[in-house]
Chain A
Amino acid sequence: MAMKVKEITIKENMLLTDSVCLLSFSDPQWAAETRPGQFFNILVSRETDPLLRRPISIGDIKGGTLYFFYKIVGKGTEILSRKRKGETLSVMGPLGKGFPADGEKNCLIGGGIGVAPLIYLLRVLTENKKKAVLHGGFPSAGEDYLTPYQDNGLFRSKENLFIYTEDGSRGEKGYPTKNIEKMSGNQRLLTCGPLPLMKAAEQEGRKKEWASWHSLEERMACGAGACLGCVVQTLKGHQLVCKDGPVFTGKELPW
């Protein structure tokens, strides 16, 4: 599973909500090789400002096409959002170690843009005939990008997808961690989102003695383990988010 740099041609790049875009391009080789939770480094400009590539997680893969969900938060993602179908981009990947997709029963907890990597995880788990339920939280209905996304029959509402909003404007009111307490059996906990959310999920999971995996973020430069810039503190010392992660087990993090 070698990392590569490729010039891809944009298939679509459109807003799903006011601030979240969906980018897709076709690449059968990457579609076959990329694991859920891995990410790609996208060069958004041929100029030197912004200078660095932007890391974006694989959001979904359908029939040879890769999908990325990204939130416009600054200069780089703003420039990316202005690219049009047919334009080319330099993309590097797949990078990092992803989520395990072989557990029998899986509880996926995501918040905001952090729900994105869990979509492909849900797909792979479902294809692997594993039980998997995605609990995705957003501030409000307007920020939910799952509902406008063409999921090709993956999502089965209230069966494998539960949406939560902080203001109750869609789905259940509250955080996506609120129902963990009521869940039964021995499950795997797989999360991505703001740190407080992952922490709350980990705490609930620990009460049930569930094994857990969390996808972390840190500012990156190379994305390939070469600059040692993206470290996080773990119980084993400094680890690289881009190479040792971005997915870490709940056991190895200091919380």
Chain B
Amino acid sequence: MVKCEVKIGDAVFKNFVFTASGTFGYGDEYEDIFDPALLGGICSKGLTRFPREGNPPPRLTETPSGLLNSVGLQNMGVEAFLEKKIPELVKKKVTVIANIAGNTLEEFQEMTALCDKAGGITAVELNVSCPNVKEGGMAFGVNEEHIRSITAACRAATTKALIVKLSPNVTDITAMAGAALEGGADALTVANTLLGMAVDVDKRAPSIANVFAGLSGPAIKPVALRLVYQVKKSFPEATIMASGGIVSPRDALEFFMAGASAVQIGTGLFRDPELPLHVLEGVKEFCVENGFPSVGAVTGLAIRR
């Protein structure tokens, strides 16, 4: 038996596979395909204080082994999510991480407090890295001071596990990681989509209405791996959830060896909706075959000290 549990703060997740925010809807869209209660947990759609319509279409473009999206945080708002979606998810025994994005420090704190009070939320993930919302996301995620103060404010508002999801669009991710840990984060999600764009040559115009968009999928995996490695090397005690381009169990193993303790599956779901289960089984199998008692024993194996 391979030990699969992952501990973040006081929370214990039953295994190391999660679905990434914004790629698994509100948690019930893929029910016909597999039971989300089998996963370590699901990260909710990025939630804001009030409902948002998001960006105009077109919002998607495929690129070589990648996907550009500019959904722009379309969501029902944190309160509607807690009222309408959480009771069902609780009934189905799904472990939920609420992914939240504030426009201001106060909004981040207020939303964290709402999630703290609500039953059925196991952890809060702060999206300081969403590159789509002009007035928010980007600005917080590239500034150490902002990350530290937002994390500290949210820390004060909850005893639940607190995760900070870092932006890859920074010069030095270790500075951002250090700020989040100082602010009191229990874990870090590394990373988010890389800011990019595509041009429609026939239309002589950007392919996406919002012009810039977040790049995800296998195209960003090498970058995400490097970021995980850097953070783990600088902060050996940090618990890292890896996010970026995982489409197979071997991809997940690369992230574990680079320093991750858990993985989030996003874009990979769109080609293989059963991917989270395949990753869970594949990684477990690898551990059995290679004599690792736990997934934790694989974490950081590739890091040169």
Interface residues of A (CB under 8 A from B): 2-5, 43, 48-53, 90, 92, 218-233, 237-238, 243
Q: Report yes or no: B270 in contact with A49, Cβ–Cβ below 8 A.
A: no
List chain A residues, Cβ under 8 A from B267: 51, 221
- B interface residues, how many (CB within 8 angstroms): 35
Q: Bound complex: CA of A29 vs CA of B62, how far in Å?
A: 32
- Cβ contact within 8 Å between B33 and A5: yes
B66-74, B120-128, B156-164, B171-179: which lies at the interface: B66-74
| Structural contact, B53 and A229, CB atoms closer than 8 A | no
- B207-246 contact mask (Cβ, 8 Å, vs A): 1 or 0: 0000000000110000000000000000000000000000
Is B30's beta carbon under 8 Å from chain A? yes
Q: A3-B33, A52-B67 are in contact. Are A232 and B57 (CB under 8 A)?
A: yes
Q: Which of B22, B30, B269 contacts A228 (CB 8 A)?
A: B22
Other contacts beyond A43-B271, A228-B71: 11, CB < 8 A: A48-B65, A48-B247, A51-B267, A218-B57, A222-B23, A222-B269, A224-B29, A226-B24, A227-B60, A229-B69, A243-B29
Over the window 179-196 of chain B, the binary record of Cβ atoms lying under 8 Å from chain A Cβ atoms (1 yes, 0 no) is 000000000000000000
- List B269-286 residues whose CB lies under 8 Å from chain A: 269-274
Residues in chain B within 8 A of chain A (CB atoms): 22-25, 29-30, 32-33, 45, 53-54, 56-62, 64-67, 69, 71, 74, 217-218, 247, 267, 269-274
Judged by DSSP, the binding face of A is loop
- Please tell me if the beta carbons of B64 and A49 are within 8 angstroms of each other in the complex: yes
Interface contact B62-A51, CB-CB below 8 Å:
yes
Contacting B65 at CB < 8 Å: which of A43, A49, A222, A223? A49
Complex Cα distance, B33 from A140, in Å, reads 42
When the two chains form the complex, which single residue of A51, A226, A238 contacts B30, counting CB atoms closer than 8 Å? A226
Assess the A51–B65 pair: CB atoms within 8 A.
yes
Contact (A225, B32) CB under 8 Å given A51-B66, A92-B273, A233-B56: no
What B residues does A226 contact at CB under 8 A? 23-25, 29-30, 269
CA A5 to CA B275, docked complex, whole Å: 12
Which residues of chain A have C-beta atoms less than 8 A from B29's C-beta? 222, 224-226, 243
B67 in contact with A221 (CB, 8 Å):
yes
Chain A residues with Cβ below 8 Å from B65 are 48-49, 51
The residue in chain A whose Cβ has the minimal distance to the Cβ of B217 is: A51
Chain A residues with Cβ under 8 A from B62's Cβ? 50-52, 219
Which residues of chain B are near A221, meaning CB under 8 Å?
A: 60, 67, 69, 267, 270
Known: A51-B67, A51-B217. A224 touches B30 (CB 8 A): yes
